[in-house]
């Protein structure tokens, strides 16, 4: 049995019936990418991920990345066996170039296609996936905000994957509180900058996969105001690039150590030191943190994908195990024979919970990605505006809900394995260890929830959320078929509960910011459950007409057995902060 089978049937179903890949490819911006081409790209990419990257997942975990040193100084960061060759093949196949502008050598496909590829890449090998993921984020930033000269110098080599990219925000005293960072940038006479300071937790900060690493580094310029307003973003290449595009001398930036982590052992997480010899040469992208927001939305969406990816692989592994493992005697099984555990209702419940949750997450993330494309490329400004609002609203939910659920589902897959799940050889424990980072990085899930209640919920005085919930209600009302009756009823209850919670927060949040902040986590969970339920209901309605029947059953299970949790969260949302501050934790 292969380690990972790309879930192409469900991916195709979502692209056809939940979002509108046909409509997307009809846009002028994606003129050359008809649905058939998209489909063959996805199928080919899936094969690559399954055949080349999935088999390296385990060795990535057991061997990990390591440092080579000479006299105490780091000389090289070495990735696990097989990664370098696989990365060369990834570059050769051009998978990283898929969504980018053909002007820079990209494939010009919708962002949605890249999100599909990213799901399969991450399911196959999360540690490996982080190198292309960070590169993609850096490309996105440069493509939107770099000067033509900077784009010319770096982008084409990053789009092919010959050079990789990093994001350098975090410092020991500046994690969630990015505004506290201390890295310094001072102007040099030639118009460049000199960067100094230490960054921690830098994913693929150094490695042996590519010839050059293009760091995007946040630093503070002289006399800058405190907080995020005083922060600027700089390009700091590992090797300086000559005017003719060849590599010049090594820049004053180096990896000084690697973190020992709970998971994603294959991905080198580096402590980076800038300016030990006077200052790393940096190039200002442009002043101001507002530029980072473009990058943040797409990067957060990509981290949300990690939730689906981990859950999907955990599901596949759990089903395979449950078919093989025999214990007990299932109701109705022949006398004297042990039954496969997949015959027991409780095990089937666990499997269906993982499956239904994964499907709901995939639908949310793909809708979010389709909205990124429409917000950027639809010719009608009104549609662009509406979809941009949807991106703003859904991104924190995609990131936080999907990564929280991904972790829960990996844990449930361990439960399906019984004791063998706790033993490393089965590999399912790796999924939990690897996936556990996703709720933490790219803005912790707590920070995402705060973003949802304090910035997104109040958009247009609450009208954005109201319109969103009205659209869900209308779609629920239109579910006429009797087969969909319970889905309709549960979706109505869920969306009504979310509407009550939203109005309560809009009203009471004004009185005391702690009311909003205390409600943030449960409110985001409600939002995720209901949005997932909405898109599962849409799937069920489509499945009635287009099959397959499993989609309808899975959507009904979600509606009847998972979605009702949303209503139960009203208490937590509206309880306020009183008790949170009434306990003395000393």
Ligand X SMILES: Cc1cc2nc3c(=O)[nH]c(=O)nc-3n(C[C@H](O)[C@H](O)[C@H](O)COP(=O)(O)OP(=O)(O)OC[C@H]3O[C@@H](n4cnc5c(N)ncnc54)[C@H](O)[C@@H]3O)c2cc1C
Residue whose entry in the numeric block shows the structure tokens 């900060």: 205
Element (H, E) at 492: helix 485-508
Torsion angles phi and psi, residue 32, rounded to 5? -85, -5
Q: How many Å apart are CA 431 and CA 412, to the nearest integer?
A: 11
Three-state DSSP at 67 gives strand
Task: Output the six-digit token pair for 442.
Answer: 């790219």
Measured from the CB of residue 178, what is the shortest distance to ligand X in angstroms?
A: 8
Asked if the bond preceding 548 is cis, omega within 30° of 0, the reply is: yes
Of 471, 477, 488, the closest CA to residue 537 belongs to 488
Cα 422 to chain centroid distance, Å, stands at 26
Instruction: Determine whether 442 is an active site residue.
Output: yes
Rounded Cα distance, 174 and 410, in Å: 30
CB 386 within 8 Å of CB 378? no
- Give backbone dihedrals phi and psi of 30, rounded to 5 degrees, phi first: -115, 30
Shortest distance in whole angstroms from residue 439 CB to ligand X: 9
Cβ nearer to ligand X, comparing 202 with 498: 202
Closest CA relative to residue 161, chosen from 108, 250, 90: 90
DSSP one-letter string for 17-42:
IIS-HHHHHTSGGGTT--HHHHHHHH
Residue 78 belongs to what H/E stretch?
strand 73-78
**Between 343 and 451, CB nearer to ligand X:** 451
Specify the residue, 25 or 448, whose C-beta has the smaller distance to ligand X: 448
Token pair listed for 334: 């022949």
Q: What residue ranges bind ligand X (CB under 6 A)?
A: 167-170, 175-176, 201-203, 261, 269, 437, 440-441, 444, 446-447, 450
Q: Which structure tokens are listed for 257?
A: 């150590």
Give which of 548, 547, 541 is closest to 491, Cα–Cα. Answer: 541
Q: What is the DSSP letter of 252?
A: S
- Pairwise CA distance, residues 54 & 3, whole Å: 7
- Which position among 425, 442, 475, 560 bears the catalytic label? 442
DSSP secondary structure code for residue 135 in this structure: H
Identify which of residues 175 and 533 has a Cβ nearer to ligand X in the complex: 175
CB 544 within 8 A of CB 552: yes
Nearest to 104 by CA among 141, 139, 129: 139
Residue with Cβ nearer ligand X (285 or 555):
285
Closer CB to ligand X, 269 or 317, in the complex:
269
**What backbone torsions phi and psi does residue 461 show, to the nearest 5 degrees?**
60, 25
Q: Give the active site residues.
A: 442
């Amino acid at each position: 049995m292969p380690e990972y089978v790309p879930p192409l049937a469900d991916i195709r179903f979502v692209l056809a019936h939940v979002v509108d890949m046909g409509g997307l490819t009809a846009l002028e911006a994606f003129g050359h990418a008809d649905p058939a081409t998209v489909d063959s790209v996805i199928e080919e990419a899936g094969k690559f991920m399954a055949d080349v990257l999935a088999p390296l997942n385990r060795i990535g975990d057991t061997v990990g990345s390591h440092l080579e040193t000479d006299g105490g100084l780091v000389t090289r960061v070495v990735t696990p066996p097989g990664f370098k060759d696989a990365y060369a093949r990834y570059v050769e196949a051009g998978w990283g170039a898929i969504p980018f502008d053909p002007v820079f050598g990209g494939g010009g496909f919708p962002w949605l296609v890249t999100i599909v590829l990213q799901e399969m890449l991450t399911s196959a090998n999360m540690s490996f996936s982080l190198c292309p993921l960070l590169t993609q984020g850096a490309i996105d930033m440069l493509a939107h905000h770099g000067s033509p000269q900077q784009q010319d110098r770096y982008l084409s080599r990053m789009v092919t994957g010959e050079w990789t990219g990093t994001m350098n925000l975090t410092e020991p005293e500046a994690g969630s509180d990015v505004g506290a960072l201390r890295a310094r940038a001072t102007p040099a006479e030639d118009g460049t900058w000199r960067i100094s300071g230490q960054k921690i937790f830098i994913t693929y900060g150094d490695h042996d996969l590519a010839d050059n690493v293009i760091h995007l580094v946040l630093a503070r310029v002289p006399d800058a105001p405190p907080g995020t307003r005083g922060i600027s973003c700089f390009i700091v290449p590992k090797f300086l690039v000559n005017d003719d595009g060849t590599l010049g001398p090594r820049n004053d930036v180096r990896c000084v150590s690697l973190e020992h982590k709970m998971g994603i052992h294959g991905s080198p997480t580096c402590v980076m030191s800038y300016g030990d010899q006077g200052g790393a040469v940096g190039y200002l992208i442009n002043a101001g943190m507002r530029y980072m927001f473009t990058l943040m939305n797409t990067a957060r969406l990509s981290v949300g994908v990690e939730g689906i990816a981990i859950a999907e692989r955990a599901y596949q592994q759990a089903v395979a195990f449950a078919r093989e493992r025999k214990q007990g005697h299932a109701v109705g099984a022949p006398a004297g024979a042990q039954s496969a555990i997949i015959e027991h209702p409780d095990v089937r419940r666990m499997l269906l919970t993982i499956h239904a949750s994964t499907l709901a997450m995939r639908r949310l993330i793909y809708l979010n990605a389709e909205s990124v494309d429409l917000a950027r490329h639809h010719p009608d400004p009104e549609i662009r505006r509406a979809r941009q609002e949807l991106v703003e609203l859904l991104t924190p939910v995609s990131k936080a809900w999907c990564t929280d659920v991904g972790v829960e589902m990996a844990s449930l897959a361990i439960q399906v394995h019984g004791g063998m799940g706790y033993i490393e050889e089965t590999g399912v424990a790796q999924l939990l260890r690897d996936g556990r980072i996703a709720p933490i990085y790219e803005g912790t899930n707590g920070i995402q929830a705060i973003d949802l209640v304090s910035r997104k919920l109040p958009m247009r005085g609450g009208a954005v959320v109201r319109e969103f919930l009205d659209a869900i209600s209308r779609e629920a009302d239109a579910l006429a078929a009797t087969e969909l009756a319970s889905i309709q009823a549960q979706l109505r209850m869920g969306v009504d509960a979310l509407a009550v919670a939203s109005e309560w927060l809009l009203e009471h949040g004004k009185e005391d910011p702690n009311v909003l902040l205390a409600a943030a986590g449960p409110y985001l969970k409600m939002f995720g459950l209901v949005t997932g339920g909405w898109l599962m209901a849409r799937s069920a309605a489509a499945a009635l007409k287009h099959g397959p029947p499993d989609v309808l059953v899975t959507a009904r299970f979600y509606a009847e057995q998972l979605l009702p949790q949303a209503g139960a969260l009203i208490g937590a949302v509206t309880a306020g902060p009183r008790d949170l501050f009434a306990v003395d934790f000393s």
